[in-house]
Structure 1
């Protein structure tokens, strides 16, 4: 417990949590038996209590459990800590839009839609400069989003002035860095996609795609299909678009 308390950069592992729960439980049992010993030791019947087979069996049982725990504790000492999971949300700098109804209203509408199970994706459409990215920044930072999803991933899909999306590899690397996935630098796109898929599988993911310029295939990047409460919000000036 002291090791875990000292190291704030890592999280306790499942192995450690299982061990510590057993240790706490046996500690309670020992305290109860000690209390019983102290109570009966003052009574006339204490000789019977202390010499009873039941009491002896309980003491032996607890002794074995404690020695087993001590042995296991030495074996798992290098397994008690694991890397911290990535933050649910990485806040992004953006202007507060509370006083701007033309931006606050679509933000509130988007938040309402996110609460509906049948809504898997939302498009914020409009010409350059109307505030699409500003709405997305406030959406990313909203406390309702942090409570609803396991992880929020922001992807800037294209460069300003470009008519094309960034490459598949560039988008994959942005996800890898966001999720703090450790991979070999020489990994190809298919391998990276499989790793991203593995890391996101089972997680309730919220994907924010800013400035989509052309059709985008999320399956090739490694984003699982939306079957676990995952949702997507994107901004684009395109009237017709395809995302798969």
Structure 2
């Protein structure tokens, strides 16, 4: 294995541990094109709905099978060269296998079922996990990828526990950070339909108001007395 040094920084974990290299090949399945088309609406929906959790170091997180989990990881605003962000799963104490790594800002990094959307100017990046299964349980790190040597500067460390239960009492967190794939599509479509209906209602109201105003002006003009001759 390759040893990596990760120095301490505010809000991060310090680590001196072996981290194995992984090919990092993107395993794009038949849903890849779908994610390419939907990744921006997904991120916008997560930002609008607050459907993620901001994790503290080593926080225990619960999820339900077949749901989508999103993680908001802090990072410093971009200064100089872009720093790759990575999401990895701990395979043994001190050893982490990289799952997905971003190489450019504001471009969805994909290695289904893992995705990263990084917006350096905002001071955070979002990790998305889809197709949650029992095997998804474990410890995860999000951090800065220091290069081919395998160095990772850890920003967040969470422990994910997956359950088959679907009741809200399953979750110990007050934040709603899990969203099923089907539920996401329904909510996204409902969001679009609501916007269209609201816009249509506004246009109808404006048209009705214009018509009423025009009719009122006509009645006033007809009721006005004709000028008398003196």
TM-score (norm. length: structure 2): 0.24
* Structure with higher strand content: 2
* Structure with higher helix content: 1
The higher-RCO structure (CA 8 Å, 6+ apart) is: 2
Q: From the CA coordinates, give the structure whose radius of gyration is larger.
A: 1
TM-score (norm. length: structure 1): 0.23
